[in-house]
Amino acid sequence: MPEAASGPAVSGPPRLEGVRRIVAVSSAKGGVGKSTVAANLAVALASRGYRVGLADVDIYGPSIPIMFGVSELPHPDAATRLIEPVESCGVRLMSMGFFLDDQAPVVWRGPMAMSATKQFLRGVAWGELDYLIVDLPPGTGDVPLTLAQEIPLDGGIVVTTPQDVALADVTRGAAMLRRVSTPILGVVVNMAGYLCPTCGTRDDLFGTHPAEQIARTIGAPVLAQFPIDARVRETGDAGRPITAADPEHPLSRAYLALAEAVEEALGKLRADLYGAEPVSIDRDDTAGVVRIHWSDAVVTEYTYAGLRGWCPCAVCQGHASQARFVEVEDPRLVGDEGVGRYAVRLHWADGHDTGIYSYGWLREIADFAECRPASSRA
């Protein structure tokens, strides 16, 4: 079994120790529901079984403590001197709001935040996290730029409303993420119409939302559209995001779908990093070998044991930040099926089928023990 350190990294080099993926939630202006989206996305990911942290660096309106009903200040650990996050609704929270003087004029907050941001995320005892959601300040100015430069983000989401100006806003928001080399996972259109709770009629208060136009303009999909619903504000004000307060509510279910879409977008990014996809996947049961021909003319070859050993599923990988090789006696591959345009799901004779191998992952593990890449590369 290879040493963990010699295995492929699950998501590149760890940028914050123990944190596997960092996703920023941004918006070009305030009041569009960015913090609401960040909060509910965090709860939805937690309810899917992930370990989730939420860092609120929205200095102009740090609303996360209110949305999660947290009033006590976090404390530094005497031994490590790291600040312990506060846990609520299954999410580990930290907010700039805990450290900002309410009386400080907004004009001071920028410079204060710029110096604080550098220590903020690294000074927190996040522990092992699958996802850290970062609630950025609105706008496209220095603070979000500085922050994004400090922590290489895995991806960013732009929140907007479907007003006419929103398209210009979303373009600026996307440009800001691009400036700091953060891949855009997609756009969330919030307050997209009003669904009458009595008669079920939909009223598009701000005009129809140009989902396709947005997608075409910034080259990223619309991941979700949420209508205006009084329950969102009520639950947020009462200290529990709707996804935690009312999990059966249609909006809460829509947030679960957003969590899935974010997962998928991150998986697809890994595939895109390679810019190649399998043209054919051939199994040789006698030799116990899988051979993949890729669209960039590379051929990779894997023993069944190697492929099974690097299974990326949560059961096999646990929550370690470094990939784990799982030894299985005489594994036999019995099937494969495509997942979206970014991965294949492998079925093993012992019934194990939770491993979704992104194309990027298949290319990464080809370089490690028990797979046989080098000799078979074109």
31 is a contact residue toward ligand ADP (CB under 6 A): yes
Nearer to ligand ADP, 193 or 373 (CB): 193
Distance of closest approach, residue 138 Cβ to ligand ADP, in angstroms: 6
Q: Which of 122, 179, 216, 233 binds ligand ADP (CB under 6 A)?
A: 233
From residue 199, how far is each of 195, 225, 313 by CA, in Å? 8, 20, 44
61 is a contact residue toward ligand ADP (CB under 6 A): yes
Site string for ligand ADP, 135-174 (x = CB under 6 A): ---x------------------------------------
Q: By CB under 6 A, which span of 29-37, 47-55, 113-121, 320-328 interacts with ligand ADP?
A: 29-37
229 is a contact residue toward ligand ADP (CB under 6 A): yes
Q: By CB under 6 A, which span of 32-40, 213-221, 261-269, 284-292 interacts with ligand ADP?
A: 32-40
Q: By CB under 6 A, which span of 33-41, 80-88, 278-286, 343-351 interacts with ligand ADP?
A: 33-41
Q: Which of 33, 155, 193, 221 binds ligand ADP (CB under 6 A)?
A: 33
232 is a contact residue toward ligand ADP (CB under 6 A): yes
Interface with ligand ADP (CB under 6 A), residue total 19
Nearer to ligand ADP, 148 or 366 (CB): 148
Distance of closest approach, residue 149 Cβ to ligand ADP, in angstroms: 22
Mention every residue, 6+ apart, whose C-beta is less than 8 A from residue 181.
152
Distance of closest approach, residue 233 Cβ to ligand ADP, in angstroms: 4
Site string for ligand ADP, 175-204 (x = CB under 6 A): ---------------xx-------------
63 is a contact residue toward ligand ADP (CB under 6 A): yes
Q: By CB under 6 A, which span of 68-76, 165-173, 226-234, 292-300 interacts with ligand ADP?
A: 226-234
* Strand partners for 195: 202
Q: With helix as H, strand as E and coil as C, how does the chain read?
A: CCCHHHCCECCCCCCECCEEEEEEEECCCCCCCHHHHHHHHHHHHHHCCCCEEEEECCCCCCCHHHHCCCCCCCCECCCCCCECCEEECCEEEEEHHHCCCCCCCHHHHHHHHHHHHHHHCCCECCCCEEEEEEECCCCCCHHHHHHHHHCCCCEEEEEECCCHHHHHHHHHHHHHHHHCCCCEEEEEEEEEEEECCCCCCEECCCCCCCHHHHHHHHCCCEEEEEEECHHHHHHHHCCCCHHHHCCCCHHHHHHHHHHHHHHHHHHHHHHHHHCCCEEEEEEECCCCEEEEEECCCCEEEEEHHHHHHCCCCHHHHCCCCECCCCCCCCCCEEEEEEECCCEEEEEECCCCCCCEEEHHHHHHHCCCCCECCHHHCC
**144 near 173, Cβ under 8 Å?**
no
Nearer to ligand ADP, 48 or 231 (CB): 231
Q: By CB under 6 A, which span of 87-95, 140-148, 224-232, 289-297 interacts with ligand ADP?
A: 224-232
36 is a contact residue toward ligand ADP (CB under 6 A): yes
Contacting positions for ligand ADP (CB under 6 A): 27, 30-36, 61, 63, 138, 190-191, 226, 228-229, 232-233, 236
